[in-house]
Amino acid sequence: MLHTTTNTGLHAFVADQIIARYVRSGTRAADLGTGPGAMADRLRAMGCDVVGADMSAEGFEARLPHVVVNFDQPDFASQLGAKKFGLVTAIEVIEHVESPIGFLRNIGNLLVPGGVAVVTTPNVESLPARLKFLLRGKIRTMDENGEPTHISPIFGDLLKRQFLKRTSLELQEHHVFPANGFQLSRKSFAIVLSAVAGILPGESLKGDNHVWVLRAKG
């Protein structure tokens, strides 16, 4: 299994719990922000016809096609093929791009009608993230101690009300990972935070990552 820098278990959750319900052998798939190719390699093992795409080919290790694509370009989908794919994955990518709406619009352009995209991103609405913003005015995983290329926090409410209506995509499913807790917090804090999140009102209080399943409109 190829290495990945995403949270432990995220790729397995996405592949086994979500993608397995949507793909069949021969599904054409594009893995955006493929990195070393770990998710692309999983898709290939599931029988998909896969191409990996990223801003650079450096470090790509999977034995499958790769295309260098600038995700900040307004029409990067044209490099991969419009209306060509039944599945698009973007695991921890959208927070790195300059225009999240433009990125989603391109995903919609890549998908055939009824095709599915799985997009994940850090959960900036979790209880730990809300506490950090309340106490320090900084966004979790996107401050000076986070990944320096994280530039676009994605909030679920805005995604549903504003972002998607400007694209050809519609929300099919939403999950958080891990479903009942946190990986990025120290274990003692994570236990307390998980218990408190369980009794507070509101969505997305648990989990370090959002996982959205989006469908291309017919």
Q: Model confidence over 66-79: pLDDT tens digits? A: 999 999 999 999 99
pLDDT band at 215 (very low <50, low <70, confident <90, very high): very high
Looking at every residue in the chain, the average pLDDT score rounds to: 94
What is the average per-residue pLDDT within 21-25? Answer: 94
Angstrom distance (rounded) from CA 151 to CA 46: 32
Q: What number is the average pLDDT over the span 92-114?
A: 98
174-203 average pLDDT score: 87
Q: What is the pLDDT of residue 190?
A: 83
Model confidence at 119, in pLDDT bands (50, 70, 90)?
Answer: very high
CA 21 to chain CA centroid, nearest Å? 17
50: pLDDT confidence band, cut at 50, 70 and 90?
very high
Structure confidence at residue 112 (pLDDT): 98
Q: Does domain 10-216 have CATH number 3.40.50.150?
A: yes
Q: Which two tokens stand for residue 213?
A: 């399943």
Distance CA 135, CA 143 (A): 13
User: Which has the closest alpha carbon to 209: 114, 112, 140?
Assistant: 140
